[in-house]
Structure 1
Amino acid sequence: MNVEIWVNSSQVQVLSDTINGVINEATRNSSSVGHFGTGDKNFTLLDRVYCLAQCTPDIDNFGCNTCLKNALVVMNSCCRGSIYSKIFLPSCQLRYDLTQFYNVTLQVVPITPHSDTPFSETGDEIYF
């Protein structure tokens, strides 16, 4: 189910800036558990937007950046105006939500590559 909200140009810019920031953070922060970045910003007077970008540890910074940029293309084509989006590709995931879905004080749990499964879609959760 795609839940739509009306957004203005400044909210679109906040979301874009935050997502691009976590992509940049994830591609710079490589470790044994993979690449990981989170961020949040004020979205409206009452809401914050929370973003996460993560890649599997088996790819390098360039591969992570490429995967996350591909996820962003999918996100922009399917989920514009949604209050949340989750894009899962074989080597990365890109998410945003108006509800905090991560805890920054916990250790990063590595994601593993998805098997070669066909495309499936559940609401705004997209798997390739």
Structure 2
Amino acid sequence: MFSTSVSNRTILVPILALVAIQLFFIRSVTSVNETNAYLYHKCFEKDGKYKPKSPYEENINFLISNVWKNASVKDYIYGIEGYRPNTVYLAIQCRGDSYGSKCDTCRSTAYSELRKRCPRNKGAIIWFDRCLLRISPTTFMNKMDLKNKFYMYNRKKVRDPVSFNAKTKTLLNKLTNDATRGGPEREFEVYWLYEQGDMKLDGKMKLHGMVQCTRDIRETGCKKCLDGIIGELPNCCDGKEGGRIVSASCNFRYEIYPFLDTHR
């Protein structure tokens, strides 16, 4: 059902309908993240399948080829193509520090892998480290999705989990407030609904964090989404040196090492 590999550092916990929990292992890196690792995917079987060379597949291909090429802002794209019953809705979201060629490469990889992992599924979603891609026969615009999500965390625990947990929550809450400030004039900024930052810990150590939302849920929905998953920190990452919760609408990550491109 899922592709897995073994690592000594990171555990992936998929949440399926918030009931069944399974453990998997994935690769991770210990320095600035220059990779675009596959994280997770989900095929929505209830949406059915399309046939090869069908109008539905043609509409997907059109969106992938043309909407991306013609978009003025390419870190988040939402597109619609075709008439019922072959309408396709597609969204691509790149991580806030992954724009330009890195975003474009992730998009291409995500589409290729989604076709392999969810062959001919009308509805599916795939997450990579630098982007997510979602297709659906029904609209998901302006609909906050916390049902499709997963946890990832570092195997190592800190010495003082109570203090560390409090500081992690403080940092993520601050980043959430920064990411959701402003109004309509920010809609086409690269950093809209995204924020990264750090916090000093004991000695020379720093805690690094980021938050991000898909742009369709806007500021109010973004804050509600992030507040919701940050509230799940005790279930996900209690005392862990690093962790993240990733949903279809928002995500956060924190580590005790830099993991983002420092372009800001």
For the aligned pair, the TM-score class normalised by the smaller chain equals: 0.7 to 0.9
Residue of structure 2 in register with 1:85 after alignment: 243
- Distance in 2 (CA, whole Å) between partners of 1:100 and 1:52 is 11
Q: Give the Å deviation of 1:27.
A: 1.1
Residue of structure 1 in register with 2:157 after alignment: 4
Residue of structure 1 in register with 2:28 after alignment: none
Is structure 2 residue 219 aligned with structure 1 residue 61?
A: yes
Q: Give the Å deviation of 1:73.
A: 1.9
3-state SS of the aligned residue for 2:209? strand
Query: Which of 56, 64, 71 is matched with 2:229 structurally?
Result: 71
Q: Give the Å deviation of 1:38.
A: 1.2
- Distance in 1 (CA, whole Å) between partners of 2:259 and 2:161 is 24
Q: Give the Å deviation of 1:35.
A: 0.6
Q: Equivalences for 1:29-48 in 2 at 5 Å?
A: 30-32=186-188, 33=190, 34-48=192-206
3-state SS of the aligned residue for 1:28? coil
Verify the 8 A CA contact 1:67 1:89 in the aligned structure 2. Answer: no
Cα gap change, 1:5 to 1:22, in 2 (>3 Å) = same
Verify the 8 A CA contact 2:158 2:164 in the aligned structure 1. Answer: no
Structure 1 spans left out of the alignment, 5+ residues:
107-128
Segments ≥4 residues shifted beyond 4 Å: none
3-state SS of the aligned residue for 1:58? helix
Q: Kindly name which structure, 1 or 2, has the bigger radius of gyration based on alpha carbons.
A: 2
More contact order relative to length (CA 8 Å, sep ≥ 6): 1
Q: CA RMSD in A?
A: 1.9
3-state SS of the aligned residue for 1:61? helix
Query: Which of 157, 180, 197 is matched with 1:27 structurally?
Result: 180
- Distance in 2 (CA, whole Å) between partners of 1:13 and 1:73 is 12
- Distance in 2 (CA, whole Å) between partners of 1:8 and 1:59 is 33
- How many equivalent residue pairs? 106
Q: Give the Å deviation of 1:75.
A: 2.3
Q: Which amino acid aligns with 2:213?
A: C
Structure 2 spans left out of the alignment, 5+ residues:
1-10, 12-154
- Deviation digits for residues 4-44 of structure 1, max 9, x if unmatched? 22226544433222111101111115533541111101122
